[in-house]
Structure 1
Amino acid sequence: MLLNVIERGPDTQDANPDLPPVVLLHGMFGRARNLGFVQRRLATTRRTLALDLRNHGESPHGPASYPTMADDVRETLAYYNASPAMLLGHSMGGKTAMMLALTHPELVHSLLVADIAPAEGGFTRMDIPTGLENLEFPATLDRAGADALLHPLIPNEAVRQLMIQNMRLGDNPGWEIGLKEIMDGLPAIMGWPDFPEGTVYNGPTLFIRGEISPYIQPKNYPAMRALFPHYTLETISGAGHWVHVDAPKRFAELVEDFAKL
């Protein structure tokens, strides 16, 4: 599946041909522009591509699993002649990036995974407000109306705004994302497949975890070391799962330092 891409790069005179392109992969219910502030900073010196993963943003819909999502990224990178690339993925996007690195290491120059481990976790059905699938939309809807419509289901302001970006507003409103496909694929998205013994990605790998997030724990370190033997781990103090939102300056600094490798 060919994915929707937002591409940014430097003016020709500022481009460094020795730097690999950077590919940014968002988390569940996100979209390509969610990592836009990092993309803009990196794009001053190199080519960058932010992708809408399947069922998200403006990309097509279809059954969701990490093998299929990683294959979407592979196909898209081939179409854009953008590999080997540095992959940067948050949450579900991080698992997708890890999957591609492990199955097609030749396409991945380096790997940065934001707040997710190669293990089960990262999202649960309990995190998703009940009733989203059966939400009844009015004949027309603006942003204020969407906020009011979701408020009973999603009291948290930040999560509510995240979900509003996945709505089609105006006349004939509804979900723009493949909500049914996401829900059907949730067990696979929450999970993580087993790999044959000896499967590794030997390239540079950085995990960034939020200090108060539960998704990278010491119990995950053996699997991280087995699959990504050259990984390093950075913790951002005071940040939760949305590390790039909670601490954008520190997150961007870590990304830019890693991108120099």
Structure 2
Amino acid sequence: MTKLLNYQQLGQGKDIILIHGLFGRLENLNMVAKALAEQYRVTSVDVRNHGDSFHDSVMDYTTMAQDIVELMQHLAIESAVVLGHSMGGKIAMELALNCPEKVQKLIVADIAPVQYPAHHNKIIAGLQALNFSTMKRRQDADKQLAHYVDSLSVRQFLLGNLTNENGNFSFKCNIDYIEKNYANIMQAYQGDNQYLGTTLFIKGANSDYILPEHRSNIVRLFPNSRARIIQGAGHWLHAEKTQAFNRSIINFLTAR
């Protein structure tokens, strides 16, 4: 039996699908979903091994894009605008490149279709080291994670996955499966397809995830693409500059 991603729908109208990034969950894009739901039907998803979706040892982009296809079939969505942030952007690109008929327009937030160096090793080690048996409060998890992750904002983002049922703490992401598939997650797009639909790449001005040297790969795979830079924003551009981010999306969707 097909396992379906957990999802949440808001609004009515033409369909938009939102896909979060690594260690995230669908709630991360709520500020985008709520704004778009005034004009569209917005489906936010938890990708596999994240949020309230199923856990599975396979986690490559072809498979994760197929998860979106199967959810669309379940929801009777023939095609949609697809927006992805970070890892979610790579899933969205994979979907557009493999199943272009499913993607009306593509929006990619602060990621490129390229290989990235490993840069989450301390985060993964810290999350794997969490000792839930000794936790009495959420602050206990933060203290443990602080030995591995200096940034308070990053720790707060990660610990948004912490759940507490009857005093028993657990973590929503399957960190062991993420660690096993980490090389896949950092990988560049592996195929030769092109997506000819209209595409918007949105970059945080202070982020180094999209660089000038990525332009040739982007143009080769997405020849009908344009770029928008959000000033004063880093990789978490949708949270740091929500109004500017949402305005960029709505302008793109309504442009003729």
> What is the TM-score normalised by the length of structure 2?
0.92
Shift of 1:36: 0.5
Deviation string 1:80-103 (CA, Å, 9 cap, x unpaired) is 112310001000000000000000
CA distance in 1, matches of 2:182, 2:136: 28
Q: Percent identity among equivalent residues? A: 37
Contact 1:21 1:83 in 2 (8 A): no
Aligned to 2:15: 21
> CA separation of 1:123/1:90 partners in 2, compared to 1, >3 Å: closer, same or farther?
farther
Aligned to 2:155: 160
Q: 1:88 aligns with which of 83, 88, 92?
A: 83
Q: Secondary structure at the match of 1:100?
A: helix
Moved more, 218-227 or 95-104: 218-227
Q: Does 1:174 align with 2:170?
A: yes
Aligned to 1:8: 10
CA distance in 2, matches of 1:139, 1:201: 50
Q: Does 1:74 align with 2:69?
A: yes
CA distance in 2, matches of 1:39, 1:255: 11
Contact 1:94 1:113 in 2 (8 A): yes
Contact 2:126 2:145 in 1 (8 A): no
Q: Does 1:133 align with 2:128?
A: yes
> What is the TM-score normalised by the length of structure 1?
0.91
Q: 1:65 aligns with which of 56, 60, 63?
A: 60
CA distance in 1, matches of 2:124, 2:182: 13
- 5 Å-filtered alignment, 1:28-43, equals 28-43=22-37
- 5 Å-filtered alignment, 1:108-127, equals 108-121=103-116, 124-126=119-121
CA distance in 2, matches of 1:204, 1:123: 30
Aligned length: 251
Aligned to 1:219: 213
Shift of 1:145: 3.0
Shift of 1:193: 3.2
CA distance in 2, matches of 1:230, 1:221: 13
Contact 1:111 1:203 in 2 (8 A): yes
Contact 1:70 1:96 in 2 (8 A): yes
Aligned to 2:242: 248
Q: Which amino acid aligns with 2:139?
A: A
CA distance in 2, matches of 1:71, 1:207: 22
Aligned to 1:195: 191
Shift of 1:139: 5.2
CA distance in 2, matches of 1:133, 1:67: 26
Deviation string 1:2-43 (CA, Å, 9 cap, x unpaired) is 100010014xxxxx5xxx301000000110011101111111
Contact 1:98 1:111 in 2 (8 A): yes
Moved more, 207-216 or 160-169: 160-169
Q: Secondary structure at the match of 2:125?
A: coil
CA distance in 1, matches of 2:228, 2:69: 27
Deviation string 1:232-261 (CA, Å, 9 cap, x unpaired) is 011111211111122111111101111224
CA distance in 2, matches of 1:79, 1:201: 24
Q: Secondary structure at the match of 1:6?
A: strand
Shift of 1:152: 2.6
Deviation string 1:137-156 (CA, Å, 9 cap, x unpaired) is 22553333333332333221
Contact 2:124 2:179 in 1 (8 A): no
Structure 1 residue ranges, 4+ long, deviating more than 6 angstroms after superposition: none
Q: CA RMSD in A?
A: 1.7
Shift of 1:174: 2.2
> CA separation of 1:192/1:110 partners in 2, compared to 1, >3 Å: closer, same or farther?
same
Deviation string 1:98-132 (CA, Å, 9 cap, x unpaired) is 00000000000000000000101286234625332
CA distance in 2, matches of 1:205, 1:122: 25
